[in-house]
Amino acid sequence: MSFGSSPVVGLDVGTSAVRAAMVRSGRGGYALSSFGQIPLTPETVIDGELRDGGALTDAVSRLWKRSKIRSKKAVIGIANQRVVVRQVDLPYLDEKDLRASIRFQAADHVPMPIDEAEVDFHILHDYTNEDGEHLMRVLLVAAASDMVSAYVDAVQEAGIEVTGVDLAPFAVARAVSRAARGEEGIAGAEAIIDVGAGVTNIVVHVGGEPRFVRILLVGGDDVTAALARELDVSFEQAEAAKIDLGRGVGLPNAARVLSREVDALVEEIRGSIDYYVSREEGEPIGSLIVTGGGSLAHGLVPKLEHSLRMHVTLATPLRDINVKTRWKEEQVAQIEPVAAASIGLAIGAIAR
Ligand X SMILES: Nc1ncnc2c1ncn2[C@@H]1O[C@H](COP(=O)(O)OP(=O)(O)OP(=O)(O)O)[C@@H](O)[C@H]1O
Q: Which is nearer to Mg ion, 14 or 317 (CB)?
A: 14
Contact present, 322 and 28 (Cβ < 8 Å)? yes
Distance in Å, CB of 8 to ligand X, minimum? 20
Q: Which is nearer to ligand X, 292 or 348 (CB)?
A: 292
Distance between CA atoms of 313 and 291, rounded to whole angstroms?
A: 9
Asked if 299 touches ligand X (CB under 6 A), the answer is no
Asked if 63 touches ligand X (CB under 6 A), the answer is no
296 touches, from ligand X, Mg ion, none (C-beta below 5 to 8 Å by class): ligand X
169, 294, 317, 344: which one contacts ligand X (CB under 6 A)?
294
Distances (CA, A) of 210 to 85, 103, 170, 271: 10, 21, 8, 18
What single-letter DSSP state applies at residue 6? -
The pairing of strands 17-26 and 8-13 is antiparallel
Distance in Å, CB of 146 to ligand X, minimum? 19
**Contacts of ligand X in 221-280 (CB under 6 A):** 221, 224, 239, 242-243, 246
348 touches, from ligand X, Mg ion, none (C-beta below 5 to 8 Å by class): none
Of 72, 73, 22, 59, residue with least CA distance to 325: 22
220 touches, from Mg ion, ligand X, none (C-beta below 5 to 8 Å by class): ligand X
7, 196, 220, 317: which one contacts Mg ion (CB under 5 A)?
196
End-to-end CA distance of the chain: 11
Neighbours of 54 (CB within 10 A): 10
Asked if 77 touches ligand X (CB under 6 A), the answer is no
262, 338, 343, 346: which one contacts ligand X (CB under 6 A)?
338
- DSSP class per residue in 198-211: S-EEEEEEETTEEE
Distance between CA atoms of 34 and 249, rounded to whole angstroms?
A: 35
10, 14, 36, 299: which one contacts Mg ion (CB under 5 A)?
14
Distance between CA atoms of 175 and 341, rounded to whole angstroms?
A: 7
Q: Which is nearer to Mg ion, 9 or 138 (CB)?
A: 9
Binding region for ligand X (CB under 6 A): 14-17, 48, 196-199, 219-221, 224, 239, 242-243, 246, 292-294, 296-297, 338
